[in-house]
Structure 1
């Protein structure tokens, strides 16, 4: 029984650590995105201008383009399915723009109809070059669009747009039962309910998250979450003394 219950807990902890890592390295990931896009641009120029049809070079270019595309996807993989899908479509187009010039040799097509034989050219190097350029710049646009959706969606909003009900809580990170301190030491964890009174626990069904100060930073904690024993303080309303948190159901004001 203990082994079965510890597995989901380990999964939550690993998920929380991964989320925190992405959150702490947002700026680095964006810088890596820019570097990868610029590198892909030079690869695109290389394959378009110097059409060296050597199998080893083609394989090396494909591997390099795939690795760079994977790094670009890494920056949005934790931001949701919508930016991830848009980003994947963009990097596929960018990857194709790098690979297409290696297939720029004219390929003949032919067909026989009623004894008459027709031949034509399926595509020309000029058509491949135009397609490669279009794929690359369309891919860059889609990647940029996915990054905007992931990190700065407010850029796409209309002016004077009403704020959503949950906007006041979006500035607080979610606590994922982590116990790792800044100096890589661990601190015993306890249920956040242990820091509440009986009256607070009775009203917990109203809360989706509880606002608590953990290691000096406000976090949103689930009502059944685990928090550091000595480094957690629950925020309360000054007048009523109630726990401050995000309501589970609309109509309740915490």
Structure 2
């Protein structure tokens, strides 16, 4: 193990001990945490280290979402969700949370990351469909055209993956596609009143599934700009919109 890594772990342990002592200090002085707390100004609280949560401008440059999706609001919303993923990443990599709260936190992190992937795919679909729109509806060739894609709300997520693969807009392996559908099932358990089992004891809320979504997002970011250009070039050269 490198010397800097040993030093990092030593300091991390020291920070952990200091945090515990802070909470012990409150209890020893009659503060019933978490029901009660010391009121702190914003600049008196613990700061997440500057630079760990990357800026919106960083994600604008890295992902080029506005150029990719042609939708400024959707691009911004995805960029804000990517910032939130940095926060989840920090907590998961720096804190031993424990109890059922750890599963809850993994669930929240997975929901956020899945929503980014989902929004990216539906955003591409929306952009492709917009080409086929006319003032009085859609192009009359619609289903007869190999380049036609319906409105995003006409597809289930499973069908969306299928159509995007058929149109060669995504190059996702079959196994990854199936895994993504399984994780969608985890995401859909968002309503506590409608979950029939002990959802937070589900072992699928874990680092492996979170990291899988991170890898999927990275692959989409690498592929979509090129596949969309190819799709649009071929479509535009053959388009008979009317």
What TM-score comes out, normalization by structure 1 length?
0.30
Q: Rg bigger for which structure?
A: 1
In terms of fraction of residues, the more helix-rich structure is 2
Structure with more relative contact order (C-alpha pairs < 8 Å, separation 6 or more)? 2
